[in-house]
Copies of this chain bind each other. A is one copy, B any other.
Amino acid sequence: MTGTSEVSPLTLNRLSIYLRSLRQLQDHGVHRISSKQLADQFHLSPTQIRKDLAQFGEFGIRGVGYDVDHLAGRLTELLGLDSCRRLILIGVGNLGRALAHYVGFNSRSFRLVALVDQDPTKIGRRIGELVVQPPARLADLIRETGAEIGILAVPEEAAQANYDALAEAGIRAVLNFAPARLRTDPHVRTKDVDFRINLEELGYYLK
């Protein structure tokens, strides 16, 4: 694989899991691990690990395994997690507030830089270190803060208008938590997180 070819979402999701597992190993002072040990410890497939890592030129040494620090560094770089992405959150209802406090949204690789809500009773309120801003300030906020990813946590019926506003204001990607079928912009990388679909999937298998 060359540095410019795109990795599939499914592979990327596995690489995220490997990296997280490697970081746990680093925290425990482990410097070497075989694909088999990594697989056993984190309930993964050793064949899949070898295949995924070989794709971008990382080969474990037979009988010695992978160098944990080196591999974690390579995955961090490959996933683009060595730079910090700025996030803007739209909607500070129950879910939005939970997301604002979610530690994964304020890590080495991601930082929440702005909050927006249309509710006048919420505008001006402080959540963590940020103050909730009105929608009219959206474009300015994105420009001033350098936000690249928008987190949509608004009700279903408000999702499309807010998505369009984010796209219009130049956001580059959106993580959508609203249970709505969005008409997406081809210039905005969009990903849906829909709990209801996950729940319905589980419900089906209980029949």
Contacts and interface: CB of A to CB of B under 8 A. Distances in A.
A30 interface: no
A50 interface: no
Interface string A173-194: 1110001011110000101010
Contacts of A16: 196-197, 200-201
A197 B78 CA distance: 14
Interface in A111-161: 148-149
B42 A181 contact: yes
Contacts of A59: none
Contacts of A196: 16, 20, 104, 107
A193 to B, nearest CB: 6
A199 B182 contact: no
A98 interface: yes
B195 A104 contact: yes
A170 to B, nearest CB: 13
A64 interface: no
Interface string A14-50: 0011001100000000000000000000111000000
30 contacts: A6-B205, A13-B197, A16-B197, A16-B201, A20-B181, A21-B181, A42-B181, A44-B181, A79-B203, A80-B203, A80-B204, A81-B200, A81-B203, A85-B199, A85-B203, A94-B97, A95-B101, A95-B102, A97-B98, A102-B195, A104-B195, A107-B196, A109-B200, A149-B202, A173-B203, A173-B206, A175-B198, A175-B199, A175-B202, A193-B195
Interface of A: 6-7, 9, 12-13, 16-17, 20-21, 42-44, 78-81, 85, 87, 94-95, 97-99, 101-102, 104-105, 107, 109-110, 148-149, 172-175, 179, 181-184, 189, 191, 193, 195-207
